[in-house]
Structure 1
Amino acid sequence: MIISGLSKRKLSSIVLFFVLVLAGCLIFAQWSNRENYFSAVQTIGMTWLCLLLILSLLNYLLRIIRWQNYLRFLGANLPVTLSALIYVAGFALTMTPGKTGELYRGVFLKTYGVTYTNSTAVFVSERISDLSAILLLTLLGTFHQLHWFMIISVIIVAAIISLFLSLHTKFPLKFLGNLSRLIHLSSKTGRRWLTLLKEARRCHSPRILISATFLSLLAWSSEAFAFYLLLYKLGFSAGLLFAFSVYALATLAGAISFLPGGLGGTEAAMAGLLLMNGMPGTQAIAATVIIRLTTLWFAVFLGVIALVLGKRVLVSGTEEQGN
């Protein structure tokens, strides 16, 4: 396994090097837009900026609770503070396609006895739960924007297929067997995927599924509500349902684009939807810049801080296992 061959110091160095290089590249890439960021923040003032950040913190808190529930359901009883630290540290790797970098949380969990299979199952379950919540928020738009019906219908069909594959084992098992033979996967690799599917399915019992979906809905609603308040502050009172649906659709667009953190896809969809509904260009850009600054970039910032300041705790399990 990855951990067994690495000392605490080596693991810490590898993680920090990767994150700092990634952060440096992203900061450099965004530096050309610094004037947009500064002017956008000045538009709403520090008080409103802090309010938006608080709502983002609420989003993270609810997702941490969901994450902890998943871990406990799979038998991993980590202290809440340690679990929260690992979860927030994962935000440092959010800027990867499909947020797959957050799988690195499994490396830290492994040092505390949580298998990679379980941590990956939790990651998959989180993505499905997020998808369900975002879809529910998107559906709010159908109450006042009927021309979005076809787009939403396609998304719902895709979600139903995804949920079917994750909640039922017979079809994935048959598919996995056929795929293994087709691409000549080893039986060991096939068994690993099978185990992962089974563990992910355990996370979708009715009780945990309802709880996770509820927490996800509250979590993403907090950021969508922040978007509504931002539009209001910028003088564009289009209504709560409109703000929720635009935020949800833009988030989906970013996820579907499979770009790191949804960069480009989310911003284009959000600004485009605002412009299509009559918001002036300057305000639409300001709204897009500010909400991304207080959600995506705030999460990455907290992740890097958690990773740097909490590195000794995050990898201390390695040292304990070696003693």
Structure 2
Amino acid sequence: MLSSVPRPPASSSGSLWRNLLTYGLIAGFAIWCVVGFHHDLSKISLAPLVAGWPAIVMAAALSLLNYALRVVRWQLYLSRLGHSLPWRFVSLTFMSGFAFTLSPGKLGEMVRARYYQPLGIPVSGLMAGFFVERLLDLLAMILLAVAVLAELQAYRQALWVAVGLVVGLMATLALVPWPKVAESMAGHPRAGSRLFNVAQSAVAMLGSARLFLKPGILVMGLSLGLVAWGAEAIGLKLVGDVISTAPLSLSSAMGIYAIAIIVGALSFLPGGLGSTEAVMASLLYAHGYQLPEAILLTLVCRLLTLWLAVLIGWCCVWALRGQR
């Protein structure tokens, strides 16, 4: 029952300082951008955004669709773990992780696990679901980027690194006998030490990940990811058509968005900050956008995807804290 879920523990002082450091770095990065690009920023006109506000609203709606489809996938994973929970609770807990998406590899999103532990859902299963979710998101981005592979010569190396990472992880999950590894580790002389416990948790997570790699749920998860991330790429095209007269095809918008997110993920920076924006702006510039237009479109896109998610995440955290 939803009412049986206790309030999550208050954040420690260490977590507070980590949050302050993260947002301090973000503020510093923003100031650096303003100083470094003040000449181009001064040429930015917001008039096209005002005139084309319906496209902005539609792009925001597509971002919300992205979140909704990923909630559906998370509910599917919870069902595979043997737990059928109310949609409202699943939606709030899943999106609460967005509040901590500004973490390397988005690992902070695993904070949602604290809401499920009182319900008896093992952390290893939740971590496995999160791991496969990230893996399928990366695979979806690779497939979207392939749409304009010929135009992405400078970023082919990053794309191949992502492909190698996905293939390697998939092969590792499928071929390694994780239950036997866990069994052998249980009888190891060093079992019980802190580092060994971390290794055992990782092995349990990787073993549980196989639950989500069966053909049916794997195809469903990947399909939902493709539609979800493709929706945000469509939003990039809609806003781009308002900001500039430079032609931007749907396939180009998907490729630009996907490769920018892939590079941001591989950079392991919080939320891909800096790397994602730099790649997206440079690709838009290569597609005929003036630099001020490319910067404006990049900022609007990130506002409607990354920062909208962070805002919704904190709203969900607040809503869950009110549950008793």
TM-score tier by shorter-chain length is 0.7 to 0.9
Mapped pair 1:201 → 2:206: no
Q: Which one of 285, 304, 321 corresponds to residue 311 of structure 1?
A: 321
Offset, 1:165: 1.9
Q: Distance in 2 between matches of 1:128 and 1:299?
A: 20
- Residue 109 of structure 1 is matched in structure 2 by 116
1:210 matched residue in structure 2: 219
Q: Does 1:60 align with 2:70?
A: no
What is the aligned counterpart of 2:280 among 257, 270, 273? 270
Q: Is the 8 A contact 1:41 1:49 kept in 2?
A: no
* CA drift at 1:294: 0.3
Asked whether the equivalents of residues 253 and 265 of structure 1 are also in contact (C-alpha less than 8 Å), the reply is: yes
**Displacement, 1:193?**
2.3
**What residue number does 1:259 align with?**
269
1:157 shift after superposition: 2.5
Aligned counterpart for 2:309 among listed residues 274, 299, 303: 299
TM-score (norm 1): 0.82
Residue 175 of structure 1: CA displacement? 12
| Alignment match, 2:238 | 229
Deviation at 1:89, TM superposition (A): 0.9
> Residue 43 of structure 1: which of 41, 48, 52 is its match?
48
| Aligned residue identity for 2:61 | I
Q: Matched residues in 2 for 1:48 and 1:296: separation?
A: 18
Q: Calculate percent identity across the aligned residue pairs.
A: 30
Partner of 1:11: 9
Shift of the 284–165 alpha-carbon distance from structure 1 to 2, 3 Å rule, reads same
Write the distance in 2 (CA, Å) between the matches of 1:219 and 1:162: 22
Bigger shift: residues 158-167 or 277-286? 158-167
Find the counterpart in structure 2 of residue 163 from structure 1.
170
CA distance in 2, matches of 1:175, 1:276: 50
SS, match of residue 99 in structure 1: helix
| Residue 96 of structure 2 is aligned to residue 86 of structure 1 | no
Going from structure 1 to structure 2, the CA distance change for 1:154 and 1:176 (only over 3 Å counts) comes to farther
Q: Once the two structures are superposed, what CA deviation does each residue of 1:246-303 show, in whole Å capped at 9, x if it has no partner?
A: 1000000100110000000100111111122332101100110000000000000001
Q: What's the Cα RMSD here? A: 3.4
TM-score by length of 2: 0.82
Gaps of 5+ in 2: none
Cα distance in 1 between the residues matched to 2:275 and 2:263: 6
Do the aligned partners of residues 44 and 166 (structure 1) sit closer, same or farther apart at CA in structure 2, a change above 3 Å counting? Answer: farther
**Which amino acid is the alignment partner of residue 44 of structure 1?**
L
